[in-house]
Amino acid sequence: MGDRTKLAINAPIQVGGSLFTPEQLSTIGTVVGVDAKIEMTTFKQLYADVSTDRRDAIKEELERQGLEVYPAGFATKSLIACNFCKGAEEASLQAAQTLNKAIAGIETPMPLKIGYAGCALGTSEPLLKDIAVVKMRDTFDVYVGGEPKGLKSAFATQLLTGLTEDRLVPVVTAIIHYYKTHAKGKEKFRKFVERVTLEQLQLLAGKG
């Protein structure tokens, strides 16, 4: 069968959530090939197991259909966003799209999930993600250290409040890169936060 690799595929962030068109689904099935295994993940990405030598061609064709394709495995996942039930403007769809473009696919010591909610309802369950962004009226709150798995699952802790939209990308990317640089081996993000402390991350975010 030759060498295989995984691609992470998802629909663009949009009002209504993770919406695929019939044409997009048909294209996925056609271009990945009959031997591919396609898995629906818990973070709204499809993992497609494809031939390594066809990887780039498959990625290009999927992107032509308006899909987003990222590396699988040890990287930041595409932004796990809400369905924007309050509307694109009120829930800041553009801010979510901009943040996703900045963070998705960054290589990290362990897979990193970043959640976004356009209001305090938090329907995307952002506080169970490694990093969470929650829009609160005209500003944003940032949380870190959520853990959804195991008997010791935990909500993320508030790191910053009242962040303006223009500060979102610099702050979140600063946290990701600090984790990437200072994690000890394959240290989980929650353990990393506990070790370096919220205070240290707050200082870092203030400089981001």
At residue 43 the predicted structure's pLDDT band, cuts being 50, 70 and 90, is confident
Same domain, 31 and 52: yes
Mean pLDDT, residues 86-93: 95
List residues bridging with 8 in a β-sheet.
47, 70
Last residue of a domain, one of 14, 40, 71: 71
Report which of residues 208 and 123 the model is more confident about.
Answer: 123
Between the alpha carbon of residue 90 and those of residues 26, 43, 53, 72, 120, the distances in Å are 33, 24, 44, 32, 12
Together in a domain, 113 and 84: yes
Task: State mean pLDDT over 32-38.
Answer: 88
The domain that holds 59 is classified in CATH as 3.30.70.870
| Residue position matching structure tokens 């169970």 | 128
Instruction: Kindly report the number of other CB atoms within 10 A of residue 145's CB atom.
Output: 23
DSSP 78-140: PPEE---TT-TTTTTHHHHHHHHHHHTT-B-SS-B-EEEESSTT-TT-GGGSSEEEEEETTEE
Domain range spanning residue 101? Answer: 80-207
Please tell me whether residues 108 and 203 are part of one structural domain: yes
Quote the pLDDT of residue 208: 58
* Whole-model pTM over 0.85: yes
pLDDT, one tens digit per residue, over 4-24 is: 999 999 999 999 999 999 999
CATH of the domain at 174: 3.30.413.10
Determine the pLDDT at residue 207.
64
Which of 19, 42, 71 is the last residue in one of the domains?
71
* Predicted confidence (pLDDT) at residue 94 exceeds the cutoff of 70: yes
Residue 165 has pLDDT above 60, yes or no: yes
Average per-residue pLDDT in the chain? 94
pLDDT value of position 36 = 85
Q: Are residues 133 and 183 in the same domain?
A: yes
Considering only the C-alpha atoms of the chain, give the largest distance between any 2 of them, rounded to a whole number of Å. Answer: 53
> Are residues 105 and 142 located together in one domain of the fold?
yes
The number of folded domains in the chain is 2
89 and 60 within one domain: no
Cβ(175)–Cβ(144) under 8 Å? yes
Q: Does one domain contain both 49 and 102?
A: no
Q: Identify the pLDDT of residue 34.
A: 85
One domain, residues 49 and 19: yes
Q: Is the pLDDT of residue 2 over 80?
A: no
48 and 85 housed in the same domain: no
Same domain, 90 and 148: yes
Chosen domain end from 71, 94, 118: 71
Looking at the fold, whether 63 and 156 belong to one and the same domain comes out as no
Average pLDDT over residues 85-95: 95
Both 11 and 44 in a single domain? Answer: yes
